[in-house]
Amino acid sequence: MSSIRTKYEHIVLENGIPIISGASMKVIELVVEKTAYGWSPEELHFQHPYLTLGQIHSALAYYWDHASELEQDIERRLRSVEQTEQSNRPSPLLVKLKTKGLV
């Protein structure tokens, strides 16, 4: 897979997707964690010790410079999850457990 360098030292594009160079983490994954948990760069580093603070700050800088594009991607992913959840019927076991009040 070929990587395209960006002006962000630790960010490359793989198939148009911003990835943290030297890691298999997408920028969007780090941003979702920051948003969901309110984590600081230091906390993100604590949670992902294999990432340097430089990689984390570079990913966050990339996000802020491309926020609308990445926010649209996050919304698209959320809609996809919602559609998948709606199209899946509950399993017979889940239905049985719900009728017994166990779930």
User: What does the pLDDT look like over 28-47, one tens digit per residue?
Assistant: 999 999 999 999 999 999 99
For residue 1, what pLDDT band results from cuts at 50, 70 and 90? Answer: low
> 3-state DSSP helix/strand/coil percent for the chain, to nearest 5?
60, 10, 30
Q: Specify the range with the lowest mean pLDDT, choosing from 1-5, 8-12, 64-68.
A: 1-5
Range of the domain at 79: 3-99
Q: How many domains would you assign to the chain?
A: 1
Whole-number pLDDT of residue 33: 95
Output DSSP code: residue 26: B
**What percentage of the chain exceeds 70 in pLDDT?**
99
